[in-house]
Structure 1
Amino acid sequence: MKILSKALYMFSLLALSACSDDFFDVNSSVTSPTSASLAPQFRIQGAIENTFAATMYRGSREVLGVMQYGSQNVANYYSEVWSNEFTTGRYFLWQNAYVYSLPNSADLIALGKAHNSPNFVAVGKILRAYNFGCTTDQYGDIVFDETYDGESTMNITPKFVTQKTAYTNILKMLDEAIVQINEPSEIELNTANGDVFYQGDKSQWMKLAYALKARYLNHLSKKTSGDMAYNADAIIEACSKALTSNADNAMRTYGGGLTENDNQPYSSNGYGSSRVDYWSEFFVETLKNSLNLTNPVEDPRLKTIVPATATGEYIGVKTGAGPVNGRDQYSAGNGGAYTSATSPTYLMTFSEVKFIEAEARFRKGDNAGAFEALKAGVIADMEKANVAAADAAPYIAKLDEMGSASLTLSQIMTQKYISMVFDPETWVDMRRMDYSSEIYKGLTRPTNVNLFIFPNENDWIQAMVYEYNEEDRNYENMPSNVPEVRLTTPLWWNVAE
């Protein structure tokens, strides 16, 4: 059955070391896949940390420009203009997920079974669902059943499954985890202090499973028929059982120490600091009028997230253009609420759950319920972004003044965009919303966009090219990897049916 043996994983690591400047910075040997003779309490930390360091970081690193959060200090940077490495299959998520994150979660599941501890099996499935979800949301069809599972023999030419099949299996995995998390177990989750998310609190893991379930069900907003049709009630129900406050946020914290790994990745000392030289013009301008009013009201999160320039202004760099008026004229990317050395990295937040609920209720026609969910999400995000209550109050009052009668999908998605800084989930939302400038006010394509593949103004990037080493090894099983096809073809969940 399965994709790569441990030996082949290590071979892949050696190959990758030649093509990634920070690959080994995010994956220490301490948390790499190890012998299955270990007990699960010694594998859970590696499974959690590699989900962040490999899947989430690499999943966000290449699409920061696509999501128009951060901007580079040079023009025509490949990931901002959708060219060069974007068309050659290098430096992407694929190998990080299949070399690090998925093997660690597979080991956790196998070890949980071996030690009669289904609570570890459940955590492994929750992490595995996230890792598969992030991967399929960037590529579409993925390797699923025939990837490494900690038990079966090697298969270096695994078959791919459709994204619909992947989603079916992801949701099934989360449902199984919700049941298994509370089953009697011989070893408790935090026996060796490895549960760096929730310190062994099973109720919080269950909430995370429901939150992820709500997220993936919400991706189906263009599906109107069949067994995977969009179901607002199912999403709202999942949200009701998910995270209930910021205390439930699934996040990784950092000490801000001397090593890169002890700093938030996009902070000045982090291993991804160069990816956020500046904040983008679109993000900064969105914060200057996040309520989209004729008379702009500045979002109080602007000053906590975006550092001011030397003259006290907040100015972003146009995506793809690079700084054109001198580099000190723009707001630096490092140093705010999300880019300081000790800033957390979030995998799932209470505010996201409320914005998912708001969208589902809005689509159902429940504007009053949608507005209440939206408001709760904004309040929670203000707290998450270190906005003082006194600074948040006038903004919330203005939101109340607008009320539910004038609620739009644009308001919901704008607030979610602000809340989800750096999260690759934003790219899912932008594609679901067809990159609409009616939804994301002021959104335009990058300067210097790759016109060879995206010649028309309405052409936007839709997916990633599979990595070159997968194509070399397994080309007979993978879908078409021609850049003109891969980058422009919408994923399954983004096709109306």
Structure 2
Amino acid sequence: MKHLKYTICILAISIGFLSCSEDYFDVNSSVTAPTTESLAPQYRIKGAIENMFTGIIYRGSREILGVTQNGSQNNANYYSETWSSSFTTGRYFLWQNTYVYSLPNTADLIVLGKKHNSPNFTAVGKILRAYGFGTTTDQYGSIVFKETYDGESSLNLTPKFEDQKTVYQGIIKLLDEAIVEIKQPSEIELNANGGDVFYNGNKEQWTRLAYALKARYLNHLSKKSSGDMAYDADAVIEACAKALQSNADNAFRSYGGGDAENDRQPYAAGGYGSSRVDYFSHFFVELLKNSLNLPTAYEDPRLKIIVPEAINGGYQGVRTGEGPLPDNATGGDNYSLGNGGHYTSATAPTYMMTFSEVKYIEAEARFRKGDKPGAYAALKTGIQADFEKASVSSMETASYIAKMDAEIGATGITLGHIMVQKYITLLFDPETWVDMRRMDYSNTIYPGLERPVNVNLTIFPGANDWIQGMMYEYNEEDRNYENMPDNTANVRLTTPLWWNVAE
């Protein structure tokens, strides 16, 4: 949904952004777009959903590809791969996209749902809002939460930040409220104008998505053992049981594959994020060459589907931060391009939540409570669902599962087996960074994981020093510095987030 330019500027001011530059805002500007007062909710739901992809999922993953090591650039010392430059100056723009584009749409959807006696829309707004806040707090820690734009309150030029525990409590509350409201009768049908591009008005599927997100955020608390936000494996498992039931429930956005860059999967050739993934990374490719982590390597059938073969033959990734060898000019033909595979073609979908992720969350929760047979069963179901999603043949799927049964089984399952499968499934998803931090970047959990080549040694001098959070954007620091937590690079980039501190 397009916004009036002056409306965007007002929203920007409310969260601390006082400029409205052409190069940033012109993509959504319109002199004819209606305001909240003149719209019914059925005309806003599509924009609310789609802005979660362009504003949060893409922006949330774009800069951290060099942290999660999914893709690598065509030059050495690239800033996002070596955790320098823009990372240390706050020029990473998830913050703007969250508060200027994505969250205002969800707030308006909630307000309009109430105004038109249509709580189903209010519920969808809360589900999307929970996701937006969740992804943002998982990259920054403390964020603006209670005092951000809500479609009702007067504008606040200097909003306060809330600690991450408070934000998480608010996220769970939003999801619980949505689960109740999505079932209530509405005067306007959820898909009255064809705007529900997720589920075509299916309230049960929206309920399952809410439970899936609840399971995700409850599972993030794996290091919390006390207090009102302590990790509860049974609560996670219960949420998973009510969450997505098959790939038919996956929440995703499709693309037409046309000439316009916003009609292409962002990381596909010609997409607006294609320059961020010149090649697949060495770590990702090698993981697929032996995703079961067996003494004798067993190639994952997804390798040939996800990763294009290099021009000179074979599957070879570029080490993060190094650039292709033997040199940047001609070495690229020896490496697998980052676009053109199953998830990086022009028409490939982008996923917000999948059934396979739900099963991996369940597997982790069961593993943590000592139920290895249950964990193994959930893991197998998750793998089968992801193989189906990736269009792996039934024969290759059966062979892979048989190999896993023979070599690992319920007695041999480890947390690493679960997290590697989840890592592959969540390709280009900002959720991957949450997992890697929760797992302390362990190369036992993620075999072969190493810090990037040419990593920023000024801030990360030790071999075990890994990036933990993002700096707040420089313009927010300029406008709202009195409320912002310490934003110096050596603090923000190295301090673990609340859920990553054991207690």
Using structure 1 for the length normalisation, give the TM-score.
0.96
8 Å CA contact 2:18–2:479 kept in 1: the answer is no
- Shift of the 257–6 alpha-carbon distance from structure 1 to 2, 3 Å rule, reads closer
Is 1:50 aligned to residue 51 of structure 2? Answer: yes
Which residue does the alignment assign to 1:453? Answer: 459
Alignment of 1:39-78 (within 5 A): 39-78=40-79
Is 1:477 matched up with 2:483? yes
Once residues 134 and 28 of structure 1 are traced to their aligned partners in structure 2, the CA distance between those partners, rounded to angstroms, is: 25
Q: Which residue of 1 aligns with 2:3?
A: none
Matches of 1:407 and 1:300 in 2, distance apart? 20
**1:295 equivalent in structure 2:** 296
Q: 2 CA distance for matches of 1:469 and 1:143?
A: 14
| Equivalent in the alignment of 2:140 | 139
* Over 2 Å off, 4+ runs: 4-18, 27-37
Whether contact under 8 Å (1:36, 1:107) holds in the other structure is: no
Structure 1 residue 36: Cα displacement:
3.0
How much has 1:390 moved relative to structure 2? Answer: 1.7
Question: What is the distance in 1 between the residues matched to 2:220 and 2:241?
Answer: 18
Deviation of 1:6 (Å): 4.5
Distance 2:64 2:357 in 1: 19
Q: Which amino acid aligns with 1:424?
A: P
Q: What SS class does the counterpart of residue 410 from structure 2 fall into?
A: coil
Task: State the match for 1:104 in structure 2.
Answer: 105
**Cα separation, 2, equivalents of 1:346 and 1:226:** 33
Aligned-pair distance for 1:472?
0.7
8 Å CA contact 1:144, 1:160 repeated in 2: yes
Q: 1:28 to 1:442 in 2, by over 3 A?
A: farther
Q: Which amino acid aligns with 1:212?
A: L
Partner of 1:378: 383
What does the per-residue CA deviation read over 1:185-213, in whole Å, with 9 as the maximum and x for residues that have no partner?
A: 10011000000010100000000000000
Residues 63 and 33 of structure 1, relative CA distance in 2, 3 Å threshold: farther
Residue 207 of structure 2 is matched in structure 1 by: 206
User: Structure 1's 236 and 351: CA in aligned 2 closer, same or farther, altered over 3 A?
Assistant: same
Q: 1:5–1:148: 8 Å Cα contact kept in structure 2?
A: no
Aligned equivalents of 2:441 and 2:422: distance in 1?
A: 14
CA distance in 1, matches of 2:297, 2:34: 51
1:365 equivalent in structure 2 = 370
| Distance in 2, Cα, partners of 1:33 & 1:460 | 46
Q: Is the 8 A contact 1:218 1:360 kept in 2?
A: yes
Residue type at the aligned position of 1:414: V
Say if 1:29 and 1:170 are closer, same or farther in 2 by CA, change over 3 A. farther
Give the structure 2 partner of residue 354 of structure 1.
Answer: 359
Deviation, 1:400, is 1.4
Answer yes or no: is 1:426 the counterpart of 2:432: yes
Three-state SS of the structure 2 residue aligned to 1:404 is: helix
In 2, are the aligned partners of 1:32 and 1:104 still within 8 Å (CA)? no
What does residue 408 of structure 1 align with? 414
Deviation string 1:313-369 (CA, Å, 9 cap, x unpaired) is 000000000001311110001101110000000000000000000000000000000
Q: Which deviates further from its counterpart, 89-98 or 99-108?
A: 89-98
CA distance in 1, matches of 2:443, 2:340: 29
Q: What is residue 9 of structure 1 aligned with on the other side?
A: 11
State the distance in 2 between where 1:56 and 1:182 align: 27
Task: Report the CA distance between 1:311 and its aligned residue.
Answer: 3.4
Q: Does 1:181 align with 2:182?
A: yes
Distance in 1, Cα, partners of 2:474 & 2:33: 23
Query: Shift of residue 9 of structure 1?
Result: 3.1
How many residues were matched structurally? 490
Matched-pair identity in % = 71
- 8 Å CA contact retained: 2:9, 2:20: no
Aligned-partner Cα distance in 2 for 1:379–1:413: 15
Match for residue 436 of structure 1 among 435, 442, 450 = 442
Q: In 2, are the aligned partners of 1:310 and 1:329 still within 8 Å (CA)?
A: yes
Cα distance between partner residues in 1 of 2:12 and 2:178: 29
Deviation at 1:34, TM superposition (A): 3.6
CA drift at 1:32: 8.2
Verify the 8 A CA contact 1:308 1:331 in the aligned structure 2: yes
Please give the secondary structure, in 2, of the residue aligned with 1:347: strand
* Separation in 1, partners of 2:21, 2:176: 35
CA distance in 1, matches of 2:105, 2:242: 27
Q: Could you tell me which amino acid in structure 1 is paired with residue 362 of structure 2? A: E
Contact persistence 1:32–1:46 (CA under 8 A): no
Name structure 1 gaps, 5 residues minimum.
Answer: none
Instruction: Report the RMSD for the aligned CA atoms in angstroms.
Output: 1.7
Q: Is the 8 A contact 1:5 1:153 kept in 2?
A: no
Q: Which residue matches 1:256? A: 257
The aligned runs of 1:463-474 (5 Å cut-off) are 463-474=469-480
For residue 381 of structure 1, report the CA deviation from its aligned partner.
Answer: 0.5
Question: Structure 2 stretches of 5 or more lacking a match?
Answer: 1-5
The 1:131–1:269 alpha-carbon spacing in structure 2 relative to 1, beyond 3 Å, is: same
Displacement after TM superposition at 1:312 (Å): 2.9
Cα displacement (A) at 1:159: 0.6
Q: Distance in 1 between matches of 2:342 and 2:22?
A: 32
Q: Is the 8 A contact 1:81 1:449 kept in 2?
A: yes
Q: Please tell me whether the aligned partners of residues 278 and 338 of structure 2 are also in contact (alpha carbons under 8 angstroms).
A: yes
Counterpart-to-counterpart distance in 1, 2:276 and 2:254: 20
Alpha-carbon shift at residue 123 of structure 1 (Å): 0.1
Instruction: Quote the Cα distance in structure 1 between the aligned partners of 2:52 and 2:123.
Output: 15
CA separation of 1:152 and 1:421: change in aligned 2, threshold 3 A: same
For each residue in 1:102-156, what CA deviation from the matched residue of structure 2 results, as whole angstroms up to 9, or x when unmatched? 0000000000000000000000000000000000000000001100011111111
Contact 1:13 1:99 in 2 (8 A): no
> Partner of 2:282 in structure 1?
281
Q: Contact 1:350–1:377 at 8 Å: present in 2 too?
A: yes
Give the Cα separation in 1 of the matches to 2:325 and 2:313: 19
In structure 1, C-alpha distance between the alignment counterparts of 2:33 and 2:104, rounded to whole Å? 9
Tell me if structure 2 keeps the 8 A contact 1:436–1:443: yes
Query: Once the 2 structures are TM-superposed, how far is the Cα of residue 477 of structure 1 from its aligned partner?
Result: 0.5
| Secondary structure, counterpart of 1:418 in structure 2 | helix
For residue 15 of structure 1, report the CA deviation from its aligned partner.
3.9
Q: How much does 1:396 deviate?
A: 1.1
Structure 2: distance between partners of 1:272 and 1:362: 36
In the alignment, the residues of structure 1 paired with residue 356 and residue 266 of structure 2 have an alpha-carbon distance, to the nearest angstrom, of 22
Does the 8 A contact of 2:290 with 2:298 survive in 1? yes
CA shift in 2, pair 1:7/1:333, >3 Å: closer
